[in-house]
Amino acid sequence: MSEFFFLFLSTLDSTFRVATPLILCAMAGIFSERSGIIDIGLEGKMLAAAFAAGSVAFVSGSPWLGLLAGIIISVLASLIHGFACITNRGDQVISGLAINILASGMTVTLGIAFFSQGGQTPALGKDQRFMSLELPLADYASNLPIIGQIYSELISGHNLLVYLAFLSVPLTYYIIFKTRFGLRLRAVGEKPMAVDTAGISVVSLRYRAVICAGILCGIAGAYLAIAHGASFGREMTAGKGYIALAAMIFGKWRPRTTLLACLLFGFLEAVSDRLQGIVIPIIGEIPVALMQGLPYVLTVILLAGFIGKAIAPAAIGTPYIKER
């Protein structure tokens, strides 16, 4: 029983770490899409932020400067997306895909040009990364049954950005559902003409929404390069931006249910990592490729028929044209 309990705790611990970029990107998607802007470019912004964070952290020796660089690059990408979709009323899906393609190519090209390591950044030392934090009394609590072990093994021992990701969920909920800005943000995603009639700028609200999305994507990218990992690697996001979009839809554009969806996807990935190479009676050894593809297969299955009717904001994907 004790061995199973520790295995369960370690799997949940891995779930939290794997789900962190999904949570941050999904919250970013909620901000953007609640305002009426489709944000397929979450993947590209996260990838660009990861490269910027890994590069600046290596050059400067500071993880904080790396985090700041990741946020700045991601916000710039969000502003480009906003300029294309909000100002020029371009196709939002095409703009997002263009950002993904640009980030995929530019990160590798710049990585080769700057560091000559095949598109990767050099490995970071402990002083250049966000390391795990031991919460107060974690060592003492480890001797206590169940509750103490949960505190010491599951809650304690994560880096700062993991805690920040989980904090972003109630913060997103509060901003979107409990503040004047959030009320206007939801209104502009449903009835932008009514918002404009009330004398509130639709363009300004949508730009502020995509900036919020850029900040969260920047933190997610920085987490991959300078917290969860020790360097930037080619295509290191590996579709996490798309899974975050799926989690957001699965959660019906609400922070709390979206968090549960992200944890579900994170749990499946954590389980798939632990089951690689394990021999199961009758079935035999589970193929590695099958376990690695399990979260993506589940994404398709859930979106295809298990989430019920997900009603998106009414004005999503529709450029607003001010009547004169």
DSSP codes joined into one string, 74-136: HHHHHHHHHIIIIIS---HHHHHHHHHHHHHHHHHHHHHHHH-STTPPPPP-GGGS--B-PPT
* Mean local confidence (pLDDT), 125-140: 84
On average, the pLDDT of the chain sits at 87
pLDDT of residue 286: 67
In whole angstroms, give the CA distance from residue 214 to residue 96: 13
Question: pTM of the entire structure?
Answer: 0.91
* Mean local confidence (pLDDT), 39-49: 94
pLDDT of residue 1: 44
In whole angstroms, give the CA distance from residue 69 to residue 165: 18
Q: pLDDT by residue (tens digit) across 191-218? A: 999 888 888 899 999 999 999 999 999 9
Is pLDDT of 186 > 60? yes
* CATH level 3 topology of 2-129+137-305: ABC transporter involved in vitamin B12 uptake, BtuC (1.10.3470)
* Mean local confidence (pLDDT), 253-258: 91
Q: Which residue has the tokens 């933190």?
A: 219
Instruction: Of 259, 293, 67, give the one whose Cα is nearest residue 170.
Output: 259
More confident residue, 10 or 65: 65
* Mean local confidence (pLDDT), 308-323: 79
Domain residue spans in the chain? Answer: 2-129+137-305
pLDDT of residue 267: 87
- Of 33-37, 109-113, 311-315, the least confident: 311-315
pLDDT of residue 299: 67
* Mean local confidence (pLDDT), 313-322: 84
DSSP string, 260-285: HHHHHHHHHHHHHHHHTT-EETTTEE
In whole angstroms, give the CA distance from residue 36 to residue 184: 12
Q: pLDDT by residue (tens digit) across 5-32? A: 777 788 888 899 999 999 999 999 999 9
Q: Cα separations (Å) of 272 from 17, 45, 286, 290?
A: 14, 26, 10, 9
DSSP 314: T
